[in-house]
Amino acid sequence: METSRTQVVIIGAGPAGLLLGQFLLQQGIDHIIIELRSADYVLGRVRAGVLEEPTVRALREAGVGERMDREGLKMSGFNLMWNDRQVHINFGLVNKVATVYGQTKVTEDLMDARKAKGGITEYEASNVQPHDFDTSRPWVSYEKEGRQFRIDCDFIAGCDGHHGVTRKSVPSDQIKTFDYAFPFGWLAILADVPPISEEVAWINHTDGFLMCSLRSKTRSRYYFQVPKGEDIKNWNADLFWTEYRRRLPASLTDRLVTGPALEMSLTPLSSSVSTPMRFGRMFLTGDAAHIVPPTGAKGLNMAMADAKRLFEGLRQFYNDGGDMGLLNTYSDDSLSRVWKAVRFSWWMTNLSHKLSDNPFNREMQIAELEYIAQSVAAQTTIAENFCGLD
Ligand code: APR
Protein backbone atom coordinates (compact mmCIF):
# COMPACT_ATOMS: atom_id res chain seq x y z
CA MET A 1 0.00 0.00 0.00
CA GLU A 2 1.33 3.48 -0.92
CA THR A 3 1.11 5.86 2.04
CA SER A 4 1.09 9.64 2.34
CA ARG A 5 -0.09 12.36 4.71
CA THR A 6 -2.19 15.49 4.40
CA GLN A 7 -4.19 17.72 6.74
CA VAL A 8 -7.71 17.16 5.40
CA VAL A 9 -9.06 14.39 3.17
CA ILE A 10 -12.26 15.38 1.36
CA ILE A 11 -14.31 12.46 0.05
CA GLY A 12 -16.45 13.52 -2.91
CA ALA A 13 -15.94 16.22 -5.56
CA GLY A 14 -19.51 17.50 -5.84
CA PRO A 15 -20.27 21.15 -5.06
CA ALA A 16 -19.72 20.67 -1.29
CA GLY A 17 -16.33 18.98 -1.64
CA LEU A 18 -15.15 21.38 -4.33
CA LEU A 19 -16.18 24.51 -2.40
CA LEU A 20 -14.51 23.25 0.78
CA GLY A 21 -11.41 22.41 -1.27
CA GLN A 22 -11.38 25.87 -2.83
CA PHE A 23 -11.49 27.58 0.58
CA LEU A 24 -8.73 25.30 1.89
CA LEU A 25 -6.61 26.08 -1.19
CA GLN A 26 -7.00 29.80 -0.52
CA GLN A 27 -5.82 29.31 3.07
CA GLY A 28 -2.95 27.02 2.14
CA ILE A 29 -4.42 24.14 4.16
CA ASP A 30 -3.05 20.91 2.75
CA HIS A 31 -5.75 18.55 1.48
CA ILE A 32 -6.77 16.13 -1.23
CA ILE A 33 -10.16 15.33 -2.79
CA ILE A 34 -10.96 11.70 -3.59
CA GLU A 35 -13.84 11.13 -6.01
CA LEU A 36 -15.45 7.92 -7.20
CA ARG A 37 -16.42 9.16 -10.66
CA SER A 38 -14.60 10.88 -13.51
CA ALA A 39 -14.51 14.67 -13.81
CA ASP A 40 -16.70 14.48 -16.95
CA TYR A 41 -19.30 12.38 -15.16
CA VAL A 42 -19.49 14.86 -12.28
CA LEU A 43 -19.83 17.76 -14.74
CA GLY A 44 -22.54 15.99 -16.70
CA ARG A 45 -24.97 15.72 -13.78
CA VAL A 46 -27.79 18.20 -14.33
CA ARG A 47 -29.27 19.32 -11.05
CA ALA A 48 -30.15 22.48 -9.15
CA GLY A 49 -30.04 26.02 -10.45
CA VAL A 50 -31.15 28.65 -7.93
CA LEU A 51 -28.58 30.19 -5.59
CA GLU A 52 -29.42 31.91 -2.31
CA GLU A 53 -27.57 35.08 -1.31
CA PRO A 54 -25.39 33.24 1.28
CA THR A 55 -24.32 30.82 -1.51
CA VAL A 56 -23.53 33.69 -3.88
CA ARG A 57 -21.47 35.37 -1.14
CA ALA A 58 -19.61 32.12 -0.39
CA LEU A 59 -18.73 31.61 -4.07
CA ARG A 60 -17.46 35.19 -4.33
CA GLU A 61 -15.39 34.79 -1.15
CA ALA A 62 -13.95 31.58 -2.59
CA GLY A 63 -12.84 33.58 -5.64
CA VAL A 64 -15.16 31.82 -8.09
CA GLY A 65 -17.92 34.40 -8.48
CA GLU A 66 -16.76 36.10 -11.66
CA ARG A 67 -18.75 34.12 -14.27
CA MET A 68 -21.72 33.76 -11.91
CA ASP A 69 -21.85 37.55 -11.51
CA ARG A 70 -21.65 37.98 -15.28
CA GLU A 71 -24.03 35.27 -16.47
CA GLY A 72 -26.30 34.57 -13.48
CA LEU A 73 -29.85 35.92 -13.82
CA LYS A 74 -31.20 37.91 -10.94
CA MET A 75 -34.49 36.48 -9.69
CA SER A 76 -36.56 39.05 -7.84
CA GLY A 77 -39.51 36.80 -7.07
CA PHE A 78 -41.62 33.91 -8.31
CA ASN A 79 -45.23 33.06 -8.94
CA LEU A 80 -47.47 30.57 -7.19
CA MET A 81 -50.32 29.60 -9.54
CA TRP A 82 -53.50 27.55 -9.13
CA ASN A 83 -56.71 27.38 -11.23
CA ASP A 84 -56.73 30.76 -12.97
CA ARG A 85 -55.23 32.51 -9.95
CA GLN A 86 -51.72 33.56 -9.04
CA VAL A 87 -49.75 35.34 -6.35
CA HIS A 88 -46.38 36.93 -6.90
CA ILE A 89 -43.86 36.37 -4.12
CA ASN A 90 -41.70 39.48 -4.22
CA PHE A 91 -38.21 39.07 -2.73
CA GLY A 92 -38.14 42.85 -2.32
CA LEU A 93 -40.24 42.20 0.80
CA VAL A 94 -37.03 40.96 2.46
CA ASN A 95 -34.66 43.16 0.41
CA LYS A 96 -33.09 40.17 -1.27
CA VAL A 97 -32.68 38.48 -4.64
CA ALA A 98 -31.89 34.92 -5.71
CA THR A 99 -29.59 34.05 -8.62
CA VAL A 100 -30.38 31.59 -11.41
CA TYR A 101 -27.09 29.83 -12.24
CA GLY A 102 -26.91 26.08 -12.91
CA GLN A 103 -25.15 23.65 -10.60
CA THR A 104 -23.14 22.36 -13.56
CA LYS A 105 -21.69 25.86 -14.02
CA VAL A 106 -20.93 26.18 -10.31
CA THR A 107 -19.14 22.82 -10.48
CA GLU A 108 -17.24 23.80 -13.61
CA ASP A 109 -16.12 27.14 -12.08
CA LEU A 110 -14.90 25.36 -8.94
CA MET A 111 -13.09 22.69 -10.98
CA ASP A 112 -11.39 25.33 -13.17
CA ALA A 113 -10.28 27.35 -10.14
CA ARG A 114 -8.96 24.19 -8.47
CA LYS A 115 -6.98 23.25 -11.54
CA ALA A 116 -5.53 26.76 -11.83
CA LYS A 117 -4.34 26.66 -8.20
CA GLY A 118 -2.88 23.16 -8.50
CA GLY A 119 -5.35 21.47 -6.12
CA ILE A 120 -5.14 17.69 -6.18
CA THR A 121 -8.26 15.64 -7.01
CA GLU A 122 -8.05 11.89 -7.44
CA TYR A 123 -10.90 11.00 -9.79
CA GLU A 124 -12.09 7.45 -10.44
CA ALA A 125 -10.97 6.20 -7.04
CA SER A 126 -12.71 3.02 -5.90
CA ASN A 127 -13.26 1.36 -2.51
CA VAL A 128 -12.82 4.67 -0.71
CA GLN A 129 -13.05 4.03 3.02
CA PRO A 130 -12.61 6.27 6.09
CA HIS A 131 -10.87 4.68 9.12
CA ASP A 132 -10.25 5.51 12.79
CA PHE A 133 -12.20 8.76 12.66
CA ASP A 134 -13.06 8.34 16.34
CA THR A 135 -9.34 8.71 17.15
CA SER A 136 -6.90 11.60 16.69
CA ARG A 137 -5.29 9.77 13.74
CA PRO A 138 -7.89 9.14 11.06
CA TRP A 139 -6.95 7.81 7.65
CA VAL A 140 -8.58 7.05 4.31
CA SER A 141 -7.88 4.15 1.99
CA TYR A 142 -8.76 3.81 -1.68
CA GLU A 143 -7.79 2.04 -4.87
CA LYS A 144 -6.92 3.48 -8.23
CA GLU A 145 -5.68 1.80 -11.39
CA GLY A 146 -5.01 -1.42 -9.49
CA ARG A 147 -2.91 0.33 -6.79
CA GLN A 148 -3.85 0.73 -3.14
CA PHE A 149 -3.40 3.97 -1.23
CA ARG A 150 -3.52 5.10 2.40
CA ILE A 151 -3.66 8.78 3.36
CA ASP A 152 -3.23 9.76 7.01
CA CYS A 153 -4.81 13.05 8.00
CA ASP A 154 -6.13 15.29 10.79
CA PHE A 155 -9.73 15.39 9.54
CA ILE A 156 -12.06 13.70 7.04
CA ALA A 157 -14.77 15.68 5.26
CA GLY A 158 -17.60 13.44 4.06
CA CYS A 159 -18.83 15.32 0.98
CA ASP A 160 -19.84 12.16 -0.86
CA GLY A 161 -23.56 12.71 -1.36
CA HIS A 162 -26.58 10.70 -0.30
CA HIS A 163 -25.22 7.34 -1.52
CA GLY A 164 -21.68 7.89 -0.31
CA VAL A 165 -19.54 5.83 2.02
CA THR A 166 -18.90 8.18 4.95
CA ARG A 167 -22.39 8.15 6.51
CA LYS A 168 -22.57 4.38 6.05
CA SER A 169 -19.24 3.97 7.90
CA VAL A 170 -20.67 5.32 11.14
CA PRO A 171 -21.75 2.60 13.62
CA SER A 172 -25.55 2.47 13.58
CA ASP A 173 -25.86 3.20 17.30
CA GLN A 174 -24.08 6.54 16.82
CA ILE A 175 -26.27 8.00 14.08
CA LYS A 176 -29.98 8.64 13.73
CA THR A 177 -31.56 9.16 10.33
CA PHE A 178 -34.98 10.71 9.79
CA ASP A 179 -36.50 9.75 6.43
CA TYR A 180 -39.69 10.89 4.72
CA ALA A 181 -40.62 9.88 1.16
CA PHE A 182 -43.42 11.54 -0.78
CA PRO A 183 -45.48 9.12 -2.90
CA PHE A 184 -44.54 10.93 -6.12
CA GLY A 185 -41.59 12.29 -8.08
CA TRP A 186 -40.75 14.82 -10.80
CA LEU A 187 -40.24 14.16 -14.49
CA ALA A 188 -37.83 16.83 -15.77
CA ILE A 189 -36.74 18.06 -19.17
CA LEU A 190 -33.84 20.34 -20.05
CA ALA A 191 -34.15 22.01 -23.46
CA ASP A 192 -32.53 24.82 -25.38
CA VAL A 193 -35.74 26.80 -25.76
CA PRO A 194 -36.44 30.26 -24.34
CA PRO A 195 -38.20 30.01 -20.97
CA ILE A 196 -41.92 30.73 -20.72
CA SER A 197 -40.92 33.51 -18.37
CA GLU A 198 -37.82 34.60 -16.49
CA GLU A 199 -40.09 34.48 -13.43
CA VAL A 200 -40.13 30.90 -12.15
CA ALA A 201 -43.64 29.50 -11.50
CA TRP A 202 -44.81 26.78 -9.13
CA ILE A 203 -48.19 25.55 -10.37
CA ASN A 204 -50.75 23.54 -8.41
CA HIS A 205 -52.87 21.64 -10.97
CA THR A 206 -55.68 19.21 -10.08
CA ASP A 207 -53.71 16.42 -11.78
CA GLY A 208 -50.44 17.31 -10.09
CA PHE A 209 -47.72 19.91 -9.72
CA LEU A 210 -45.77 21.49 -12.54
CA MET A 211 -43.02 24.02 -12.62
CA CYS A 212 -41.61 26.47 -15.15
CA SER A 213 -37.96 27.07 -14.45
CA LEU A 214 -34.88 28.11 -16.39
CA ARG A 215 -31.12 27.93 -16.49
CA SER A 216 -30.52 30.94 -18.77
CA LYS A 217 -32.37 33.15 -21.29
CA THR A 218 -32.11 30.35 -23.84
CA ARG A 219 -32.26 27.21 -21.71
CA SER A 220 -35.40 26.00 -19.91
CA ARG A 221 -35.92 23.45 -17.17
CA TYR A 222 -39.48 22.17 -16.81
CA TYR A 223 -40.92 19.59 -14.45
CA PHE A 224 -44.20 17.91 -13.62
CA GLN A 225 -45.35 15.52 -10.94
CA VAL A 226 -45.56 11.80 -11.72
CA PRO A 227 -46.49 8.90 -9.44
CA LYS A 228 -43.71 7.17 -7.52
CA GLY A 229 -42.26 4.29 -9.48
CA GLU A 230 -42.89 5.89 -12.89
CA ASP A 231 -40.54 4.45 -15.52
CA ILE A 232 -38.60 6.99 -17.62
CA LYS A 233 -38.74 4.53 -20.52
CA ASN A 234 -42.46 5.39 -20.81
CA TRP A 235 -41.59 8.97 -21.72
CA ASN A 236 -39.98 10.92 -24.54
CA ALA A 237 -39.83 14.65 -25.30
CA ASP A 238 -43.08 14.65 -27.33
CA LEU A 239 -45.03 12.94 -24.57
CA PHE A 240 -43.50 15.30 -22.03
CA TRP A 241 -44.52 18.44 -23.94
CA THR A 242 -48.07 17.14 -24.52
CA GLU A 243 -48.67 16.50 -20.82
CA TYR A 244 -46.90 19.70 -19.81
CA ARG A 245 -49.02 21.84 -22.15
CA ARG A 246 -52.19 20.10 -20.92
CA ARG A 247 -51.46 21.10 -17.32
CA LEU A 248 -50.18 24.62 -18.06
CA PRO A 249 -52.48 27.53 -17.11
CA ALA A 250 -54.17 29.00 -20.21
CA SER A 251 -52.35 32.29 -19.64
CA LEU A 252 -48.99 30.56 -20.29
CA THR A 253 -49.67 28.06 -23.09
CA ASP A 254 -49.07 30.59 -25.90
CA ARG A 255 -45.59 31.27 -24.54
CA LEU A 256 -44.49 27.63 -24.39
CA VAL A 257 -41.71 26.89 -26.89
CA THR A 258 -40.90 23.19 -27.23
CA GLY A 259 -37.81 21.47 -28.59
CA PRO A 260 -35.58 18.41 -28.36
CA ALA A 261 -34.58 17.21 -24.90
CA LEU A 262 -30.97 17.80 -23.86
CA GLU A 263 -31.76 15.66 -20.85
CA MET A 264 -34.76 14.00 -19.25
CA SER A 265 -34.74 12.57 -15.75
CA LEU A 266 -36.91 11.34 -12.91
CA THR A 267 -36.34 12.68 -9.42
CA PRO A 268 -37.92 11.01 -6.39
CA LEU A 269 -39.16 13.47 -3.77
CA SER A 270 -37.89 12.66 -0.31
CA SER A 271 -36.33 14.20 2.76
CA SER A 272 -33.65 12.65 4.91
CA VAL A 273 -31.65 14.13 7.77
CA SER A 274 -28.89 12.30 9.64
CA THR A 275 -27.79 13.50 13.04
CA PRO A 276 -25.24 14.34 14.26
CA MET A 277 -23.11 15.61 11.39
CA ARG A 278 -19.83 15.03 13.19
CA PHE A 279 -18.23 11.77 14.35
CA GLY A 280 -14.96 12.46 16.09
CA ARG A 281 -12.71 13.76 13.32
CA MET A 282 -15.10 13.05 10.47
CA PHE A 283 -17.73 15.57 9.36
CA LEU A 284 -20.71 15.02 7.05
CA THR A 285 -21.36 17.87 4.62
CA GLY A 286 -24.17 18.46 2.12
CA ASP A 287 -26.15 15.57 0.65
CA ALA A 288 -24.07 13.12 2.72
CA ALA A 289 -26.01 14.36 5.75
CA HIS A 290 -29.34 15.51 4.32
CA ILE A 291 -31.49 15.59 1.20
CA VAL A 292 -34.68 17.52 0.45
CA PRO A 293 -37.26 17.45 -2.31
CA PRO A 294 -36.16 19.98 -4.95
CA THR A 295 -39.35 22.05 -4.52
CA GLY A 296 -37.73 24.75 -2.37
CA ALA A 297 -34.45 24.89 -4.36
CA LYS A 298 -32.55 24.20 -1.14
CA GLY A 299 -30.29 21.13 -1.74
CA LEU A 300 -27.33 22.88 -3.34
CA ASN A 301 -27.60 25.87 -1.00
CA MET A 302 -27.60 23.65 2.10
CA ALA A 303 -24.50 21.85 0.81
CA MET A 304 -22.69 25.15 0.24
CA ALA A 305 -23.65 26.45 3.70
CA ASP A 306 -22.29 23.28 5.36
CA ALA A 307 -19.04 23.46 3.37
CA LYS A 308 -18.53 27.10 4.34
CA ARG A 309 -19.21 26.34 8.02
CA LEU A 310 -16.83 23.36 8.03
CA PHE A 311 -14.17 25.51 6.43
CA GLU A 312 -14.56 28.16 9.18
CA GLY A 313 -13.99 25.43 11.76
CA LEU A 314 -10.92 24.07 9.99
CA ARG A 315 -9.50 27.56 9.49
CA GLN A 316 -9.89 28.26 13.21
CA PHE A 317 -8.18 24.96 14.05
CA TYR A 318 -5.18 25.60 11.82
CA ASN A 319 -4.85 29.35 12.43
CA ASP A 320 -5.52 29.40 16.17
CA GLY A 321 -3.26 26.66 17.44
CA GLY A 322 -5.65 23.75 17.32
CA ASP A 323 -8.75 25.56 18.63
CA MET A 324 -11.65 23.10 18.14
CA GLY A 325 -14.37 25.64 19.08
CA LEU A 326 -16.16 25.93 15.73
CA LEU A 327 -15.55 22.29 14.84
CA ASN A 328 -17.20 21.30 18.12
CA THR A 329 -20.33 23.31 17.27
CA TYR A 330 -20.36 22.43 13.54
CA SER A 331 -23.01 19.75 13.83
CA ASP A 332 -25.45 21.66 16.04
CA ASP A 333 -25.02 24.91 14.10
CA SER A 334 -25.49 23.19 10.74
CA LEU A 335 -28.49 21.15 11.86
CA SER A 336 -30.25 24.22 13.19
CA ARG A 337 -30.23 25.67 9.67
CA VAL A 338 -30.75 22.30 7.96
CA TRP A 339 -34.02 21.50 9.75
CA LYS A 340 -35.47 24.88 8.79
CA ALA A 341 -34.62 24.32 5.13
CA VAL A 342 -36.03 20.79 5.31
CA ARG A 343 -39.23 22.18 6.78
CA PHE A 344 -39.55 24.80 4.04
CA SER A 345 -38.95 22.22 1.27
CA TRP A 346 -41.53 19.86 2.85
CA TRP A 347 -44.04 22.70 3.22
CA MET A 348 -43.62 23.95 -0.39
CA THR A 349 -44.09 20.36 -1.58
CA ASN A 350 -47.28 19.92 0.44
CA LEU A 351 -48.66 23.21 -0.81
CA SER A 352 -48.11 22.59 -4.49
CA HIS A 353 -48.48 18.84 -5.23
CA LYS A 354 -51.41 16.51 -5.60
CA LEU A 355 -51.11 14.71 -2.27
CA SER A 356 -53.88 12.12 -2.68
CA ASP A 357 -57.22 11.52 -4.41
CA ASN A 358 -59.04 12.98 -1.40
CA PRO A 359 -60.42 16.37 -2.63
CA PHE A 360 -60.22 17.72 0.93
CA ASN A 361 -56.43 18.02 0.54
CA ARG A 362 -56.78 20.27 -2.48
CA GLU A 363 -59.38 22.46 -0.77
CA MET A 364 -56.86 22.97 2.05
CA GLN A 365 -54.20 23.93 -0.49
CA ILE A 366 -56.52 26.38 -2.24
CA ALA A 367 -57.44 27.96 1.10
CA GLU A 368 -53.78 28.35 1.96
CA LEU A 369 -52.92 29.78 -1.47
CA GLU A 370 -55.81 32.26 -1.22
CA TYR A 371 -54.59 33.24 2.25
CA ILE A 372 -51.05 33.79 0.91
CA ALA A 373 -52.50 35.94 -1.89
CA GLN A 374 -54.14 38.29 0.62
CA SER A 375 -51.42 38.30 3.30
CA VAL A 376 -48.19 40.28 2.95
CA ALA A 377 -47.01 38.56 6.16
CA ALA A 378 -47.37 35.12 4.52
CA GLN A 379 -45.63 36.30 1.34
CA THR A 380 -42.79 37.75 3.44
CA THR A 381 -42.31 34.44 5.24
CA ILE A 382 -42.03 32.60 1.92
CA ALA A 383 -39.61 35.16 0.47
CA GLU A 384 -37.46 35.03 3.61
CA ASN A 385 -37.19 31.24 3.52
CA PHE A 386 -36.68 31.01 -0.24
CA CYS A 387 -33.86 33.56 -0.32
CA GLY A 388 -32.02 31.75 2.47
CA LEU A 389 -31.91 32.18 6.21
CA ASP A 390 -28.67 33.77 7.39
N1 APR B 1 -16.19 7.63 -2.78
C2 APR B 1 -15.83 8.82 -3.34
N3 APR B 1 -16.69 9.70 -3.87
C4 APR B 1 -17.99 9.38 -3.80
C5 APR B 1 -18.46 8.17 -3.21
C6 APR B 1 -17.48 7.29 -2.69
N7 APR B 1 -17.84 6.13 -2.12
N8 APR B 1 -19.79 8.14 -3.29
C9 APR B 1 -20.17 9.26 -3.91
N10 APR B 1 -19.10 10.01 -4.23
C11 APR B 1 -19.07 11.30 -4.94
C12 APR B 1 -20.12 11.40 -6.02
O13 APR B 1 -19.71 10.82 -7.23
C14 APR B 1 -20.31 12.91 -6.13
O15 APR B 1 -19.44 13.49 -7.10
O16 APR B 1 -19.40 12.35 -4.03
C17 APR B 1 -19.93 13.44 -4.75
C18 APR B 1 -21.15 13.98 -4.00
O19 APR B 1 -21.67 15.10 -4.71
P20 APR B 1 -23.23 15.50 -4.66
O21 APR B 1 -24.07 14.30 -4.69
O22 APR B 1 -23.42 16.53 -5.71
O23 APR B 1 -23.42 16.14 -3.19
P24 APR B 1 -23.00 17.56 -2.59
O25 APR B 1 -21.65 17.98 -3.00
O26 APR B 1 -23.36 17.49 -1.15
O27 APR B 1 -23.99 18.59 -3.32
C28 APR B 1 -25.36 18.62 -3.08
O29 APR B 1 -26.09 18.11 -5.26
O30 APR B 1 -27.56 16.30 -5.19
C31 APR B 1 -27.43 17.64 -5.45
O32 APR B 1 -29.51 18.66 -5.01
C33 APR B 1 -28.27 18.35 -4.47
O34 APR B 1 -27.74 20.38 -5.30
C35 APR B 1 -27.45 19.52 -4.23
C36 APR B 1 -26.05 19.12 -4.32
pLDDT of residue 215: 84
Q: Is the CB of 128 under 6 A from ligand 1?
A: yes
DSSP assigned state of 281? T
Tell me the residue length of the chain: 390
Answer yes or no: do 249 and 314 share one domain: no
Q: Is the CB of 303 under 6 A from ligand 1?
A: yes
Domain harbouring 305, CATH code: 3.50.50.60
Alpha carbon of 225 to ligand 1 centroid (Å): 24
pLDDT of residue 231: 95
- Ligand 1, atom 1, lies closest to the CA of 36
Answer yes or no: do 225 and 107 share one domain: no
Number of domains in the chain: 2
pLDDT of residue 269: 96
Answer yes or no: do 34 and 126 share one domain: yes
Q: Is the CB of 296 under 6 A from ligand 1?
A: no
Residue 295: φ, ψ to 5°:
-55, -35
Name the pTM for this structure: 0.95
Whether the CA torsion 302, 308, 312, 318 is positive or negative: it is positive
Domain harbouring 183, CATH code: 3.30.9.10
Answer yes or no: do 71 and 134 share one domain: yes
Tell me whether residue 322 is exposed, middle or buried, using C-beta atoms within 10 angstroms of its C-beta: 0 to 12, 13 to 18, 19 or more. Answer: exposed
Q: Is the peptide bond before 276 cis (omega within 30 degrees of 0)?
A: yes
Q: Is residue 88 in a domain?
A: no
Q: Which domain holds residue 158?
A: 2-75+100-178+270-348
Answer yes or no: do 243 and 183 share one domain: yes
Alpha carbon of 297 to ligand 1 centroid (Å): 17
Q: Is residue 223 in a domain?
A: yes
Query: What's the one-letter identity of residue 247?
Result: R
Spatial distance between the Cα atoms of 64 and 175, rounded to a whole number of angstroms: 34
Position in ligand 1 atom list of the atom nearest CA 18: 25
Q: Is the CB of 144 under 6 A from ligand 1?
A: no
Answer yes or no: do 44 and 154 share one domain: yes
Answer yes or no: do 173 and 199 share one domain: no
Alpha carbon of 107 to ligand 1 centroid (Å): 11
Alpha carbon of 161 to ligand 1 centroid (Å): 3
Answer yes or no: do 294 and 321 share one domain: yes
Q: Is the CB of 106 under 6 A from ligand 1?
A: no
Answer yes or no: do 213 and 166 share one domain: no
Q: Is residue 86 in a domain?
A: no
Answer yes or no: do 275 and 166 share one domain: yes
pLDDT of residue 181: 96
Spatial distance between the Cα atoms of 26 and 64, rounded to a whole number of angstroms: 11
Q: Is residue 373 in a domain?
A: yes
Find out whether 304 and 15 touch, Cβ atoms under 8 Å: yes
Answer yes or no: do 275 and 165 share one domain: yes
- The counts of H helices and E strands in the chain are 11, 21
Tell me the per-residue pLDDT of 6-63, one tens digit each, with 9 for 90 and over.
999 999 999 999 999 999 999 999 999 999 999 999 998 877 889 999 999 999 999 9
Of 296, 383, 306, 300, the residue nearest 337 (C-alpha): 306
Q: Which residues of the chain have pLDDT under 70?
A: none
